[in-house]
Structure 1
Amino acid sequence: MQRERVAQRRLSCATGRQQDIVARQRAAGFSTLSASAYCVTVLTRAGRDGTLRFVTLRNGQTTPAIAFDTGFVSGFLKRETLPDDAPVMATLMPIAERCLAQTETDHDLCNAAGHMLGVRAARGELVPAS
């Protein structure tokens, strides 16, 4: 996938539109990744390509999806060591799903989940296909 395509797909995640895209694809009969699995995969690809940067909405608003994206970028770029009691991916993905769907009201939780998933992605962990 070309870098421009990765950037476009990432934008659909950061703006909270990926949940609707997945719903339309599934309604049309396609089997597709969940929005969270898709977005973490796209973010990971951008990180591996060296194009992972912080994004902001033009109006400067922070949304659950932006908070998640910001956390992911921070975690991926810092490449921290995970504590032994760090949440596992199976715990983080449902939170990511709510954040990317713009339904999670706790932006700090979205940021923290994104951060942990970014650290895990930087360490080579792959998202479970769901």
Structure 2
Amino acid sequence: MEKAAWEAKNLGINIALTCGRITIFRTTLKELGFPPYYRFLLDQEKRQFAIECCEFESSGSHQLPEERREHYDVISIDLVRFIYRLCGWDKKSSYRIKGIAIPSRRMVVFDLTKALRYQEHKMVGES
């Protein structure tokens, strides 16, 4: 089994049930070109989550704040709960997922089956 590790250069997100938060890392938004608007996509069968650039009028669009920070937090308790149930994740842990850029679609895709489990800010293993 390959040892799981996280590198600062990784495209990524963190999902935490305790606060219903999805944290989008700066590396992910930089890869997307810091879009004014983005949306989340979820493929339940493949257990894949994605962040896609979109327009203001697009269904489910979120506006990215103009200030460039190290990460951006989105509170979506229902979506986070749904992802935890779908993946069977431990409710006391948060999960960090590496992303893969798909430039032709202006999106980054995250394989939820390869999430890294964190407890008290320490990686404790794969999901």
Normalised-by-shorter TM-score class:
under 0.3
* TM-score using structure 1 length: 0.23
Q: Which has the higher strand share?
A: 2
Q: Which has the higher helix share?
A: 1
